[in-house]
């Protein structure tokens, strides 16, 4: 799959549910209404759609949500996708999780062929963690991370940097990741849903934070890439990698190799655009994969050159959809 700008699309982020057991302020409304079950692709449909994308050239597949591990029967899907890894059709299968269910599933994830996962941790202070997540128990998440590590999974920590909320805690997170053997990615909060216009949304350019961190840590250049949008340095004092994901202050669109599919089967070509293509209808209308393949090919031909988060922030016109509906 080659888009109009010559970028090879080889990375699929597949949302398996819009549901979550947390309510992180930057991701979803506290009183959010979840989708009707009939609108959501079942596990067999998710597996079939994944196989179509793999057949079209996807080599990396990340499961997202909502929280993927709250989806009933999720290990059935993960097991089916793991067969693609074992057969060499898929180079990497991974997921992003809030960690609350990791103690239950870490060993199964490793058996299915996962080698690394991302875990969202926006604070190491239990009170602040609960405030950001609106209900989370930090101890439960840390227990899950330990279980993942014991199962042999490499854990990368994701932290959404919220100006005036957790930005003073980044040094602590860097030190903790060094002690525990985790890489860390810092993420600029994106203008999605009601969060972007609320009192807690304070955009903090990571370029500013990086300059501040460079006064206290030795940040060495590295050519490492995880295949996603993060730009990495190595923190010399800890020996761990530190990534910066900067959709607002420094776009990464020129190297975009990914698309997203929501749990309803909607293909989003860019996180920063509303436009999408419905794959659920052709998936359910025919036992043949040909109509789905054709819909995907047509959509890839319309992939935009870049997102417009900066323009949206300036005009106070955020995207209406929330992260849990889109897939993280």
- What was the pLDDT predicted at 325? 57
Say how far apart CA 78 and CA 125 lie, in whole Å.
32
Question: Quick one: which of 216, 210, 212 has its CA closest to 246?
Answer: 210
Q: Is residue 5 included in any domain, yes or no?
A: no
- The reply, when asked if residue 321 is annotated as ligand binding, is no
Categorize the per-residue pLDDT at 307 as very low, low, confident or very high, splitting at 50, 70 and 90.
Answer: low
Q: Is residue 35 included in any domain, yes or no?
A: yes
- The reply, when asked if residue 263 is annotated as ligand binding, is no
- What was the pLDDT predicted at 227? 78
pTM recorded for the entire structure? 0.89
Cis preceding-peptide flag for 169 (omega within 30 of 0): no
Q: Is residue 263 included in any domain, yes or no?
A: yes
Say how far apart CA 232 and CA 9 lie, in whole Å.
21
Q: Is residue 240 included in any domain, yes or no?
A: no
Across the beta sheet with 92-97, the strand order is 219-221, 231-235, 240-245, 183-188, 154-161, 116-120, 92-97, 60-64, 11-15, 258-261, 266-268, 276-278
- The reply, when asked if residue 215 is annotated as ligand binding, is no
- In three-state secondary structure terms, 223 is coil
Q: What is the pLDDT of residues 24-79, one digit of tens each?
A: 888 888 778 889 999 999 999 999 999 999 999 999 999 999 999 999 999 999 99
Name the strand (E) or helix (H) holding 219: strand 219-221
- The reply, when asked if residue 120 is annotated as ligand binding, is yes
- The reply, when asked if residue 241 is annotated as ligand binding, is no
Burial of 270 (0-12, 13-18, 19+ CB in 10 A): buried
- The reply, when asked if residue 177 is annotated as ligand binding, is no
Q: Residue 31 belongs to a domain with what CATH number?
A: 3.20.20.70
Q: What is the pLDDT of residues 148-187, one digit of tens each?
A: 999 999 999 999 999 899 999 999 999 999 999 999 999 9
- The reply, when asked if residue 27 is annotated as ligand binding, is yes
Categorize the per-residue pLDDT at 320 as very low, low, confident or very high, splitting at 50, 70 and 90.
Answer: low
Q: Is residue 21 included in any domain, yes or no?
A: yes
- The reply, when asked if residue 323 is annotated as ligand binding, is no
Categorize the per-residue pLDDT at 312 as very low, low, confident or very high, splitting at 50, 70 and 90.
Answer: very low
Domain that holds residue 285: 11-159+254-326
Q: Is residue 222 included in any domain, yes or no?
A: no
Q: Is residue 59 included in any domain, yes or no?
A: yes
Number of domains in the chain: 1
Average confidence score pLDDT of the chain:
89
Q: Is residue 99 included in any domain, yes or no?
A: yes
- What was the pLDDT predicted at 311? 46
């Amino acid at each position: 799959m080659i888009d109009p700008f010559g970028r090879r699309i080889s990375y699929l982020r597949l949302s398996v549910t819009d549901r979550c057991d947390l309510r992180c302020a930057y991701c979803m409304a506290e009183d959010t209404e979840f989708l009707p079950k009939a609108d959501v692709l079942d596990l067999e449909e998710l597996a079939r759609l994944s196989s179509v994308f793999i057949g079209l050239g996807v080599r990396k597949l990340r499961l997202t949500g909502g929280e993927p591990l709250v989806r009933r029967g999720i290990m059935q899907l993960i097991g089916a996708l793991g067969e693609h890894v074992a057969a060499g059709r898929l180079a990497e299968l991974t997921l992003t999780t809030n960690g609350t269910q990791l103690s239950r599933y870490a060993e199964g994830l490793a058996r299915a062929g996962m080698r690394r996962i991302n875990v969202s941790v926006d604070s190491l202070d239990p009170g602040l963690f609960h405030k950001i997540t609106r209900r989370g128990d930090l101890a439960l998440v840390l227990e899950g991370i330990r279980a993942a590590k014991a199962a042999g999974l490499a854990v990368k920590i994701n932290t959404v940097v919220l100006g005036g909320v957790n930005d003073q805690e980044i040094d602590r997170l860097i030190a903790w990741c060094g002690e525990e053997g985790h890489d860390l990615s810092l993420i600029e909060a994106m203008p999605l849903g009601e969060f972007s216009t609320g009192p807690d949304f304070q955009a903090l350019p990571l370029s500013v934070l990086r300059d501040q961190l460079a006064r206290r840590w030795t940040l060495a250049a590295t050519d490492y890439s995880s295949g996603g949008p993060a730009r990495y340095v190595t923190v010399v004092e800890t020996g761990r990698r530190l990534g910066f994901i900067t959709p607002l202050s420094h776009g990464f669109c020129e190297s975009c190799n990914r698309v997203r599919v929501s749990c309803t089967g909607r293909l989003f070509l860019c996180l920063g655009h509303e436009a999408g293509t419905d794959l659920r209808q052709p998936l359910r209308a025919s036992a043949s994969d040909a109509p789905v393949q054709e819909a995907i090919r047509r959509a890839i031909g319309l992939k935009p050159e870049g997102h417009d988060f900066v323009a949206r922030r300036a005009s106070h016109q955020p995207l209406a959809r929330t992260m849990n509906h889109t897939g993280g």
